[in-house]
Amino acid sequence: IQELLRVMRTIDDRIVHELNTTIPTASFVGKVDPGQTCKELYESLMDAHTSRERIIKNCISQTSAVVKTLKEEREKAHEDVALLKQLRKEQTKV
């Protein structure tokens, strides 16, 4: 999931470049509608943020379910060190 998030952050990481290529220079003002191109950039950013938020929330939900299951198993097997390590790892992930 970290790799997926890194890829999804590309537009944010390159925002200065995106703005420089979206806003026309004086020689291109008549050929490009700056309002439309800025609107498209904004929509692209919002789509990226929405997708990223959905993925993060899904990951949290799935990891929380795993933590809940591991906690239940831990209550049954207090002496299982490997289970405790796995539980701590998942809790850290959340």
Q: pLDDT tens for residues 25-39? A: 666 666 777 788 888
Residue 25 to residues 22, 28, 39, 42, 62: CA-CA distances in angstroms? 9, 5, 17, 19, 47
Number of domains in the chain: 1
Residue 50 to residues 8, 44, 66, 75: CA-CA distances in angstroms? 10, 10, 24, 38
Q: pLDDT tens for residues 36-53? A: 888 888 898 899 899 989
Position 90, amino acid: E
Q: DSSP character for 26?
A: G
> Could you list the residue range(s) of the whole structural domain that residue 35 is in?
1-92
Contact call for residues 83 and 73 (beta carbons, < 8 A): yes
